Structure 1
């Protein structure tokens, strides 16, 4: 049995740009007392043990200690309502860390799984701007940062990160509200990362 997913992702947390949690491999504390983070994934191409999950979206929300490696995360998963039950179960197993891969490595840090819900997810990515709307629970829009001193317009990239991809584009949220699983925050103006991702196990 094997699986592979390829697509794009972005995240937004309440750290100032650039978030020290991701860039330190979870060994440096956040810039706030708690880390409130949302990660949205769009699967361009994907197969999980024979189940085609291409074209579907998944989101992860979490509330963690400032030093994320301390564990005790409170985390919830949101599955695309466009997914069949079989597809939702397959993606839930991957993003729940039950089938190996990157999410399995985070498993020991999760102290409380807040739930998994099926919601209508609208995901957009034009290369520099990224957004996700999940019913009335989540509305996040982020923009990759391009320095006014950068004549190439390539934007600021952070490499050697590893999760969820090796190289992330840094940016900030132009809008960010989350209210689900008993978690509620507004991270407008705070850190974002985005990247293509390719996972397999």
Structure 2
């Protein structure tokens, strides 16, 4: 009798991903984690706006998240990141569990790759806070109460009309076209805190997918 393998349930999500960090533009770590960051360490923040997605039977559309890390160096590939995840306070318990599984790397997909760099292989802290995310034509803004502010403003290209972009770059969490930007960041979390103005920034469309953990 022929044996059949059980069908593994999957998850997927797509939307907008934008970032800023403590490096000068362009962040060397964005090209490869094996390049040393501008200051010998990297403090990075990613804002996530999910437009569509499902985690099994849990809908993810309309949810937001922000994850920020301190990488002590000498390169990001050396790991030992302090990592903090903020989830939208409006998320249900099921949605919260789904987002934690995605960003912790437990649910596979691109964040499983980044999760291997977290200190001890896990998120340092997870909190639920009110999130406000604004997506405009050339800018992205994220506010998390009075704890986090990330502003990303696109840079004009050489023709003075279009935006400066990068394509054909290997990156596991961003989409195919990365729009270059400058960022302002204020992080006042009890675990890590920093403030930067006019530093590296960019944004892209993303699509992630993986398999549900058993």
The two structures have a TM-score, normalised by structure 1, of 0.94
Q: 1:65 Cα shift?
A: 2.5
Q: Equivalent residue for 2:116?
A: 108
Q: Equivalent residue for 1:70?
A: 78
- Ranges in structure 1 where 5+ consecutive residues have no aligned partner: none
Greater mean deviation of Cα atoms: 26-35 or 39-48: 26-35
Q: 1:49 Cα shift?
A: 1.3
Contact 1:129 1:142 in 2 (8 A): yes
Q: Equivalent residue for 1:93?
A: 101
Q: 1:158 Cα shift?
A: 4.5
Q: Equivalent residue for 2:59?
A: 52
1:38 is aligned to 2:48: no
Q: Structure 1 residues 49, 56: closer, same or farther in 2, change over 3 A?
A: same
Residues 126-181 of structure 1 deviation map (CA, whole Å, 9 limit, x = unaligned): 1310000001100111101113x3244232334313231233111111x3200114
CA-atom RMSD in angstroms: 1.3
1:23 to 18, 26, 31: 31
Return the alpha-carbon distance in structure 1 between the equivalents of residues 112 and 147 of structure 2: 26
Q: Equivalent residue for 2:15?
A: 7
Q: Equivalent residue for 2:189?
A: 180
Q: Secondary structure at the match of 2:198?
A: coil
Residues 100-124 of structure 1 deviation map (CA, whole Å, 9 limit, x = unaligned): 0000011221115321100000001
* Structure whose residues are more often strand by fraction: 1
- Ranges in structure 2 where 5+ consecutive residues have no aligned partner: 1-8
Q: Which has the larger radius of gyration?
A: 2
Contact 2:155 2:163 in 1 (8 A): no
The two structures have a TM-score, normalised by structure 2, of 0.88
Contact 2:154 2:163 in 1 (8 A): no
Off by >2 Å, runs of 4+ in structure 1: 154-159
